[in-house]
Amino acid sequence: MTILSEKKERLFNSFNRPIPPVRYDIDRIPVDQDGEQFLYFYDSLSYATQDFTLPSDSDTILSLLDGRRSIDDLIKLSTGEVSKNDLLNYIRYLDENGILYSDHFRTHSEGMELDYEQSRFHLSNTAGISFPNNPNELIEYLNDAFSTHENSDPMDAKALFAPHIDPRVGLSSYVKSFSAIKHLTPKKVFILATSHYSGMYGNMYDDFPFVVSEKTFQLPNGSIESHKDFRRMLPPKKWSRIGVSFHDRAHRVEHSIELHLLFLNHIWKHDFEIIPILISGMDELLYSDSSYKHAQMETFAAFLEETYGKDPEAFFLISGDLSHFGKKFGDEEAAETMFGRVDENDRLFMQAGASGNPKHLLYMMRENYDKYRICGFSPLLTFLTAFQGLEGKMLSYDLWDERERESAVSFGSILFQ
């Protein structure tokens, strides 16, 4: 049996069994195209067919797919305009495109994750979308960016906190940030980055807030090897206590690391390796000093400081944006009514970060329990806990006003000397 026929065999194929429900983790976004209304399906984990759309009136039947009704049940609700075979073919079409939480979907999604974990390479999620995919066009794009936007004076530094916002809206901040380190030549670059997707893998990462990849990261302007000795340097058989996982599927659709690499490849011509580490949310730390995750972070931070704190060839990038606010992120207010409050909160966050004292940052975040969803909190706190006392200099601060969705994201950068 061919792979294609095996796939067809796994698709839903019954009149009387309950139809698998529509996946809860897919966003259905109404769009207008040439006066016609459609539903665009956005799957943050990229299991579903890319750019999958349906006519807007499909919402009616999708609302009935709750995991309890069969095709026989749906036919009873119809006006007789469709047959059971027509309806089955439609359900199989949804299943084939990854819209239903079915046996086929579970096999397909796990296969994608295993393929990624077993691969030696991380392929860019953002090339061709956020920046040119063609290498020559990309060089021209970045050359123009660094000649057009304000550059920082080169400064000696141990670390840089910088955004991972889409370059299409944050290019000036990237230039301001990375121009400050263009003269440095470290051989090992740690990237402590926000993990946007760890929480979408069930309990896989519950006890492992630090997700390490050993892949080669491929971008249009060059490939970067991972530093394989990091695993060897970890305390043997204590990965759980230190909170480190090498099951790197959380990296598969992540953008927070590769956007930093895009700019490193442009400004640096020397050879270097990376240790790419995604860090999941640390909300528990806002409520307690004695949680298990707090102990893991302090243990991991102590390991970084003891092992790499005095390494002259090591540099640290901290990848994180600032506030996410407005209706898109669950606020009742439109973002534009919150600009003043968010600006004040962001600057307090950056000042606390620049102080080099993790307790200052944690205290500041506890004041309003991360009301504005600062996604750079976890990686920055981890870095400050490991390397206390480094003075920071604020380089940039900006905001993306997504007015059509009444939402916004702020971002900025800090250089640690």
Q: Which residues pair with 296 in a beta bridge?
A: none
Give this prediction's pTM: 0.92
Mean pLDDT score, 4-28: 84
The larger pLDDT score, comparing residue 3 to residue 154, is at 154
- Where residue 238 falls among pLDDT bands split at 50, 70, 90? confident
Residues 6+ apart with CB under 8 A from 220: 124, 127, 131, 132, 133, 134, 135, 138
What are 92-149's pLDDT values in tens digits?
Answer: 999 999 999 999 999 999 999 999 999 999 999 999 999 999 999 999 999 999 999 9
Q: According to the model, what pLDDT value does residue 32 have? A: 83
Dihedral sign from CA coordinates of 261, 262, 267, 273: positive
Rg of the chain on CA atoms, in Å: 24
- The C-alpha atoms of residue 355 and residue 357 are separated, in whole angstroms, by 5
- The C-alpha atoms of residue 64 and residue 42 are separated, in whole angstroms, by 20
In the chain, CATH 3.40.830.10 covers 121-416
- The C-alpha atoms of residue 391 and residue 291 are separated, in whole angstroms, by 28
pLDDT at 292 over 90: no
Q: Which residues pair with 127 in a beta bridge?
A: 131
Residue percentage of the chain with pLDDT more than 70: 98
Contact between 387 and 373 under an 8 Å Cβ cutoff? The reply is no
Helix ranges restricted to H, 287-338: 292-308
> What CATH code is assigned to 121-416?
3.40.830.10
pLDDT at 86 over 70: yes
What are 185-196's pLDDT values in tens digits?
Answer: 999 999 999 999
Residue percentage of the chain with pLDDT more than 90: 83
Pull the structure tokens for residue 270.
């020397």
Q: According to the model, what pLDDT value does residue 3 have? A: 47
What are 318-353's pLDDT values in tens digits?
Answer: 999 999 999 999 999 999 999 999 999 999 999 999
Q: According to the model, what pLDDT value does residue 5 have? A: 45
Backbone angles phi, psi at 61, to 5 degrees: -70, -35
Helix ranges restricted to H, 149-188: 167-178
Phi-psi region of 222 (alpha: psi -120 to 50; beta: other; left: phi over 0): left
pLDDT at 293 over 70: yes
Domain 3-111 is found in CATH 3.90.930: yes
In the chain, CATH 3.90.930 covers 3-111
Residue 68 CB coordination number (10 Å): 10
pLDDT at 217 over 50: yes
- The C-alpha atoms of residue 56 and residue 290 are separated, in whole angstroms, by 50
- The C-alpha atoms of residue 32 and residue 360 are separated, in whole angstroms, by 47
Mean pLDDT score, 364-369: 94
Residue 69 CB coordination number (10 Å): 15
Q: Which amino acid is at 263?
A: F
Residue 290 CB coordination number (10 Å): 7
Strands 273-279 and 188-194: parallel
Name the nearest CA neighbour of 218 among 210, 226, 230: 226
Cβ-based burial of 312 (10 A; exposed 0-12, middle 13-18, buried ≥19)? exposed
Q: Which amino acid is at 332?
A: E
pLDDT at 7 over 60: no
Tell me what the pLDDT averaged over the chain comes to. 93
How many CA atoms does the CB half-sphere of 191 hold within 13 Å? Answer: 32
Render 117-157 in DSSP notation, one character per residue.
Answer: HH-SEEE-SSBTTTB-SSHHHHHHHHHHHHHHSPPPPP---
- Which DSSP category does 46 fall into? -
Question: Which residue is associated with the tokens 């909160």?
Answer: 345
Pull the structure tokens for residue 369.
């329990």
Residues 6+ apart with CB under 8 A from 259: 126, 130, 164, 167, 174, 319
Mean pLDDT score, 162-177: 97
- Which DSSP category does 226 fall into? B
Residues 6+ apart with CB under 8 A from 9: 1
Q: According to the model, what pLDDT value does residue 33 have? A: 82
How many residues in total does the chain contain? 417
Q: According to the model, what pLDDT value does residue 8 have? A: 61
Give the Cα-Cα-Cα angle 369, 373, 378 (nearest 5 degrees): 80
Residues 6+ apart with CB under 8 A from 109: 45, 47, 98
Q: According to the model, what pLDDT value does residue 36 have? A: 85
